[in-house]
Amino acid sequence: MLRAILRAGLAAGAIVAASAAFADDDVVNIGLILPMTGQAASTGKQEQAGAQLYLQQHGASVAGKKIALIIKDDGGAADVTKRLAQELIGNDKAKALMGFGLTPLALAVAPVATEAKVPEIVTAAATAMITEKSPYIVRTSFTLPQAAAPMAEWSLKNGIHKVVTFVTDYGPGNDAEKWFSDTFTKGGGTVVEQIRAPLKNPDFAPFLQRVKDDAPDAVFVFVPSGQGSAFMKQFAERGLDKSGIKLIGTGDVTDDDLLADIGDPALGAVTTHHYSVAHPSPENKAFVEAFKKANGGLRPNFMAVAAYDGMALVYGALEKTKGATDGDALIEAMKGASWISPRGPVSIDPQTRDIIQNIYVRKVEKVDGELYNVEFSTIEAVKDPFKAAKN
């Protein structure tokens, strides 16, 4: 009784949805911690929908265990993420934690995962070094070096010589800037200027004026999921879309979820990324159809797919351990796991616990009146180059 009251008090405003959470040995509680409110709320919404779709399609049981998803809102604040992780492990006996919408939120949980020996499945955050912060971290999203280096390779082969980089100033933006610039410069390209905008409430306009003044062949962009719309609108308002400066980047800026809102200024943008809603595979067609049906027509983006795959990873691991939930056994079972995702074939690198996946080169085009990132070239089975460079 006392515990119930305490928990209700602590959880006020935090629990947005929860399948009944049992203490029963047959139930495996999975804590899904997401920014459901605040600046990164679109990531939370997509991730929640992706994880719930997996549960709905595959049933809430595997290897003789019942699966319960406990979803918590951290509002994008790292101290809250950490507290929720501790509560999920301490009170709810969660056997895996998933989600983490931004790099600082994933990092805040690393020491908790290590101490409790509970897998931390990173399904959103994408700074390369995250997986090095705990042996219990496994990632199903991507890394910025994985997505950004192929953009430089493509640019070098496609008449782009002078580039300005424009990134959000924190972990993933700094990774994107470094891996695009180093790869591009090594191949003979010139990076004219490197511009960084703040993560919180950015006004892109003054930075975009600098891009215009530099008059490069292209501007390479990273902004986190959800900010692409504001960026692209200001890009168009400044007349950059008509200035002959090509827009290139990682696919975060031409987020599938935002393309309809951005509209025609997005046309022609070339990006490299691991998922497009237009990926032409039977698995993706089925995924997109089911996702839209379950979410009032919402398009899934790369965040939804990574959460869907996070669930696939947990289900696969529980099958391998025959339902054993010991953290070390689960992590061992996740290393080397491979499956067909809506994004294409994927596997977990047993050395780094990062995802190995195809990176696609895509161009925003109008298909049947709607904008899509249309894939036109594939680089197969890309490992995170940040870790590959160290080994």
- Can you state the angle between helices 78-90 and 103-116, rounded to 10 degrees? 30
Closest distance between ligand DHB and the C-beta of residue 320, in Å? 28
Q: Which two tokens stand for residue 163?
A: 């580039």
Distance CA 39, CA 75 (A): 8
Q: Which is nearer to ligand DHB, 31 or 251 (CB)?
A: 251
Containing H/E element for 379? strand 370-382
- Between 162 and 196, CB nearer to ligand DHB: 196
Strand partners of residue 34 = 73
Binding mask 322-361 for ligand DHB (x = CB under 6 A): ----------------------------------------
What is the pattern of x (binds ligand DHB, CB under 6 A) and - over residues 33-72? ----------x-----------------------------
Shortest spacing between CB 299 and ligand DHB, in angstroms = 15
Judged by CB, which is closer to ligand DHB: 176, or 278?
Answer: 176
Q: Measured from the CB atom, is 224 or 342 closer to ligand DHB?
A: 224
Name the DSSP letter for residue 241. G
Closest separation between CB of residue 225 and ligand DHB, Å?
3
Closest approach of ligand DHB to the CB of residue 249, in Å: 11
Cβ distance to ligand DHB smaller for residue 127 or 131: 127
CA distance 325 to 249: 40
CB of 92 or CB of 252, closer to ligand DHB: 252
Q: How far is the CB of 264 from ligand DHB (least distance, A)?
A: 23
Q: Which of 47, 87, 92, 252 binds ligand DHB (CB under 6 A)?
A: 252
Nearer of residues 47 and 92 to ligand DHB, judged by Cβ: 47
DSSP E strand stretches across the chain: 15-18, 27-34, 61-62, 65-73, 96-99, 120-122, 137-139, 162-168, 190-197, 218-222, 246-250, 270-273, 338-341, 344-348, 355-367, 370-382
> By C-alpha distance, which of 280, 218, 217, 224 is closest to 251?
224
Query: Quick one: 317 or 355, whose CB is closer to ligand DHB?
Result: 355
Considering the complex, what minimum distance in angstroms separates the CB of residue 255 from ligand DHB?
8
Question: DSSP labels for 91-120?
Answer: TT--SEEEE-SSHHHHHHHHHHHHHHT--E
Contact set for ligand DHB, span 110-169 (CB under 6 A): 124-127
Min dist CB 81 to ligand DHB, Å, is 12
Could you tell me the two tokens for 4? 């119930």
Asked if 100 and 109 count as a contact pair (C-beta separation under 8 A), the reply is yes
At its nearest, how many Å lie between ligand DHB and the CB of residue 57? 25
Query: Do residues 187 and 228 lie in contact, with contact meaning Cβ atoms separated by under 8 Å?
Result: no
Query: In angstroms, what is the minimal distance from the CB of 251 to ligand DHB?
Result: 8
Give min distance, CB of 302 to ligand DHB, in A: 7
Select from 103, 123, 134, 140 the one that contacts ligand DHB (CB under 6 A).
103
Nearest-angstrom CA–CA distance, 314 and 35: 21
Q: Is 125 exposed, middle or buried (0-12, 13-18, 19+ CB in 10 A)?
A: buried
Size of the site for ligand DHB (CB under 6 A): 12
Identify the DSSP state of 95: S
Which string of x and - marks every residue 192-231 that binds ligand DHB (by CB under 6 A)?
--------------------------------xx------
101 burial level (CB within 10 Å; 0-12, 13-18, 19+): buried
Q: Contact at 8 Å (CB) between 245 and 342?
A: no
DSSP letters of 293-339? HHTTTPPP-HHHHHHHHHHHHHHHHHHHTTT---HHHHHHHHTT-EE
Q: Which residue has the tokens 């200001």?
A: 234
Q: What is the DSSP letter of 187?
A: T
Q: Which is nearer to ligand DHB, 125 or 258 (CB)?
A: 125
Does the footprint of ligand DHB cover residue 73 (CB under 6 A)?
no
Establish if 172 lies at the interface with ligand DHB (CB under 6 A). yes
Chain position carrying tokens 């870790």: 387
Return the number of the residue (112 or 221) whose C-beta is nearest ligand DHB: 221
Contact set with ligand DHB (CB under 6 A): 43, 102-103, 124-127, 171-172, 224-225, 252
